[in-house]
Structures are given as C-alpha cells and as structure tokens.
Amino acid sequence: MLVFIVALISCVVALPLEKIHEAKEQLDDMQAFLTKLKELSNKYRVDDISLTCALCGIVVNEVAGFIIENKSISEIETLIKADICANLGGGQDICDTLVDFLPLVIQGLENQWSVSAVCVDIKLCDIPFVPHDDPYPMPKYTINLDLPPSQRWTQICSVPQFKQMAGYLYTTITTLLPGTVLEELGQEINDHYFPADYAQEIVGCASQLGVPYGWLALFNLGYEVSDACTSIVAQTTDGKILHARNLDFWDGMGFTDTLKDMALIIDFQKGGKTVFSSATFAGMVGVLSVFKNNAFSATVDTRFYPGGIGQLFYEVIAAIQEKNASLVSFLLREVMENENNFQDALTNLSSDELIADVYYILAGVSANEGAVISRNRTDAADVWILSYPNPGLKLKLIMITGILLHGLIIELTLQIMQ
C-alpha cells in the first residue's frame, strides 16, 4: 500500500519531489506503528483504543520482553526510543512521553500486572483492553438511488456512531501522518478519476461524517491495496446454490473493531423497491458483498500477483492514468444496479477493465450457477464454473481464499457418503 500511494502521488498530483519523499517517510512510519499494533492485537486481543492507549500497550509489551532479557532501565529507554518512538512520525512525542513512565511501568510488570492494567494505572488508557462481544447484529439502512448523489448517504453518514468511528480513524491516521499530502492525493483521485456519481456520494458522506473527502476517497481504495477474505460457492445434489464469505478486511491492523462499528446492511432502492442489498461499511460507496433477490449474489476477494506486489502497483498506476478502468467495488455495484441474471453478471465481471487484479465469486439461483472469476486488469485469466456433483457426492464446493500465498486457490470437492 505504501509504494502504491507514493507512486500514485507522482502520477496524479503535481507535487514537488520532496513532498513525495515526505509522504513516503510518513507512510513508512505508520506501517511500523501498525505492525507493532498488530502484534499487540494478536497477543492481547486489543480492541480499538485511543492512539495514546495503543502506544502505551505497544511500549509496555516491549518493556515486558526487555525485562525477561534482563535489560537495564537505561538500556530499555534507549531501545524504546530507537526502535519504537523514532518510527512513529506524528506519534513520536507521545511515545517519548511514555518513556518518562518507565519506572512505573517496570514496577507494575514486576508486580505481575497485565499490560492492560499497567496502562490503566498510569492513566494512559481509560479502560482495560476488552474485545467486543461477537457476533452482534448489523443495523440496516436504505439508500435511495433516486436522490441526487450528494444526498444519498446523508442518513447513514450522520449516524452518531459512524461519525465517531470515522473521526477516530481520521484522528489516528492524521496524528501518525501529519500534513496534507495524502488528503490532496485523495481529493485529486476523487475529483478527476472516480465516476461522477460516486465522487459526489463520497463528498456528501464525508461532509456528514465530519472528515475531509480526500481521506474518504482513499478509504474507498482500501480493498485494492489490502489483502484478505475467503468466499465459498457450492451446490447440493438437488441444485441448491450456497454462497458464503468471510471479510477479514484489515484484520489485526488496529482498525478491525472500528470497521465492525461502521458495518451495516444497505438496501439500495429505486422507485421505492430494493434493487440489491449489500453488507458494507458506512462511507464505502463501492460494494464487496452483495445480493440481488431472485437473480444472483457476488463477493470480492483479493488476488495476489505471482510477480509480487510491486507488479500490482505498476498496473494500478497505469490503469488510473488511462482513466478507463474501474475500482473492483465500483464495477460490482454497477453490475448489481444494471444486470438481472447470473449470465449477464458473469459476462460483465469477466470483461470490464479494472485497476487491480481480483477474484469475483458469483452465485445464481439455478443449478450450476456458480463461478469464480480470476480477474486480470483487462479480462478474466480463468473462470471456474460450478459443475453438477456426481451421484456419489453430497456437495460440490469451490472455495476461493485471498490469504493464500502467491494467489494460489483451492478447488475442493467434499465427498460424503450418502
């Protein structure tokens, strides 16, 4: 993601070279922070918290390891400043302040307190690290496609919880990445490269959320430059189609629970009737998981490049410069709005140009209407069509996962005796 954004700045925004280097340094700093936060999240199941509390968790966790290694307090101070604080960009001042608490931190850890308890004791966290109850129901809203684009998201993006979570994301990221380079990049992309209706929806939603629309535009690029997710399409011996997905978007990077609190189900309607429904996030104008009643459903999974992620960045940049390619989530929304059957959706998702490689997983309502579309930017590299199971099989299943190395995928046949 870092290389993508920096390279993109040089292509679409007329900024001096030193500004591009500044942006890259900021993004590298943020990557270092998110890596540490992911380690903490995986170890302690940390819920989304304030930046100060997150930094406290990271520092205290590192101190605990240094104590085990019998490091002195002066050695620990040097290591924390060099290995953590120096890599946090806009968060460095907070981190340096945390170093002043080292005697109290060490005392708490020697008393066998948890990392969470130490941070609460020194008043850098309000409450202990406690994860959400899971699962919990998603709220449901309607978007009226008959309204002007700038007004379609007004109800959703003015919901206090969504505003709070969007503000948290914006504050956290801009604390770590001070300056306006990335915001200007997002504005340029939204103003000149996104479809006009979607660009206006982003501007309208951002005004309600209380965040700059340039940042919301970058959020809508998130899936192109991240990696995650698993989808399954299957059918039973009587021809019943099954479609399932797991969306572990940005898992472990400190924003997963924030996105949970921004998750919702939207019915997109025209003339008072639902055209299609989507499980999505407030402010994400494209779609990743969608259902059209009595027609088809579709999900999106990351597709990796055999040549590495650098190839992805080059292709994304080239596509944006050409101005004739779509975000993977934008194309899927267009298909959901305009197509009414499995075959037409399959044709469009296989052929329309994209800015990044992806897997589209498609399911219909009739026997054998299931497919995994392995997409390049310009066309489909391969299309797997779900075939009817042999009489000795109970279920035929195609599974696609976006977290396997080098874009490998699995075709799995479950054989269960009658």
Give the active site residue among 53, 56, 119, 229. Answer: 229
* Alpha helix positions (H), 114-230: 115-121, 154-157, 160-176, 181-192, 196-209, 213-220
φ and ψ at residue 359, rounded to 5 degrees: -105, 130
- Is 241:370 a contact under the CB 8 Å cutoff? yes
Paired strand residues for 141 = 266
Q: Is 215 left (phi over 0), alpha (psi -120 to 50) or beta?
A: alpha
Which of 10, 51, 7 is closest to 30 using CA atoms?
51
In this structure, the number of other CB atoms found within 10 A of the CB of residue 324 comes to: 10
d(C-alpha 399, C-alpha 59), whole Å: 40
Q: Alpha-carbon torsion 179, 185, 191, 196, what sign?
A: negative
Residues for the chain: how many in total?
A: 418
d(C-alpha 157, C-alpha 136), whole Å: 21
229 is catalytic: yes
Which of 243, 244, 233 is closest to 396 using CA atoms?
233
Residues known to be catalytic: 229
